[in-house]
Structure 1
Amino acid sequence: MANNNGNSNSGTMTQKGREALERFKMESASELGVNLKQGYNGDLTSREAGSIGGRMVQKMINSYKMQ
């Protein structure tokens, strides 16, 4: 079980990290033709949301392989 008493950085993300991840998500959605808006996107279908996440993972794997 994780210990969340503030002594560890695991599981925390900086503001810069959140912003970079948001840009990455928007870029991936754009490549797939899925229209994301800033903030809440609860009107997306499961297929659309899953395709964005899948595309992000695919790009991360390809980036890792190139290193």
Structure 2
Amino acid sequence: MHIPGVFHLTEAHVFVVMTTQGRSSGQAFVEFPSPGDADHAMQLDRQMFGNRYVELFLSSPEEMQRATGGGYY
């Protein structure tokens, strides 16, 4: 995945939150190599990413673990 102006990520960096029915909830967590990279990515908040509008929020590994049930997809 390429985020314009940031860097390349692999699927291993993206964690999709799933519903109890096994479908995507529309939310995902992205692990960035550094806090500075995450801050830089925040410039894309409330922008179009391809054909999708995205809202971005900074979070912690603990929040990601809670949202994904400890299992990453």
Is the shorter-chain TM-score for this pair beyond 0.5, marking a shared fold? no
For the aligned pair, the TM-score class normalised by the smaller chain equals under 0.3
Structure with the largest fraction of strand: 2
TM, length-normalised to structure 1: 0.24
Which of 1 and 2 has greater Rg?
1
TM, length-normalised to structure 2: 0.23
